[in-house]
Amino acid sequence: MKPKREALVGDYIEEALLLLMKTKDYGAVSITEICKKAGVTRMSFYRNFESKEDILKKWVGSITASFLADSRISYKNNSSREYFIKLFTHMEQHKDTCLSLYKAGLIYIVKEQFDRVFLEIHEDEYDEYKSFFLAGGIYNVFLLWLINGCRESPSEIADRMENIFKK
């Protein structure tokens, strides 16, 4: 299979799982259902992924990469309020899938992404302890916000975050 086609197959599988998760719990979605929805064979599935969890890891990684490229988010170049508005606006756009991950016990995938990206982005500014401390705090605010139904707007969360960092 050509690399371009294989990439498309991976995208179809990813999209199929995300669509199925809108109507079913993650645990109830079978690989057979994903393949059927994506229009691919099980062989194609296993050529691209080892498990359903791998699909979600790819999805989290790709939306994170797109967000970083498109938003140009930077704690150096944005005010802290702008930084948090950008971040929580992005998270709000994906709250349904993140909530599904939480319910399935897979929210750690998002946490791992927070840690990895924060460490990479701030490697010149902070040592790894400070990076993990900050990433963990921001992630936990996100998780509480998600669990509480994202009641506050990204601007309101940004205001709360600014107040935390001022004290």
pLDDT at 126: 86
What pTM, to 2 d.p., does this model score? Answer: 0.86
Q: Judge whether residue 2 has pLDDT over 70.
A: no
Give 45-77 pLDDT, tens digit per residue. Answer: 999 999 999 999 999 999 999 998 998 887 677
CA 103 – CA 97 distance, rounded (Å): 10
Q: Is the pLDDT of residue 1 over 50?
A: no
CA distance 151 to 160: 13
CA distance 1 to 11: 15
Mean pLDDT within 144-151: 96
Tell me the CA distances in angstroms from 13 to 34, 39, 72, 80, 157, one per residue in order.
6, 8, 29, 37, 34
131 within 8 A of 122, measured Cβ to Cβ: yes
DSSP, collapsed to helix, strand or coil, labels residue 136 as helix
| pLDDT tens readout for residues 105-143 | 999 999 999 899 988 888 888 888 998 899 999 999 999
Per-residue pLDDT at 5: 60
- So what's the pLDDT on residue 21? 94
Q: In the block, which residue shows the tokens 């999209």?
A: 15
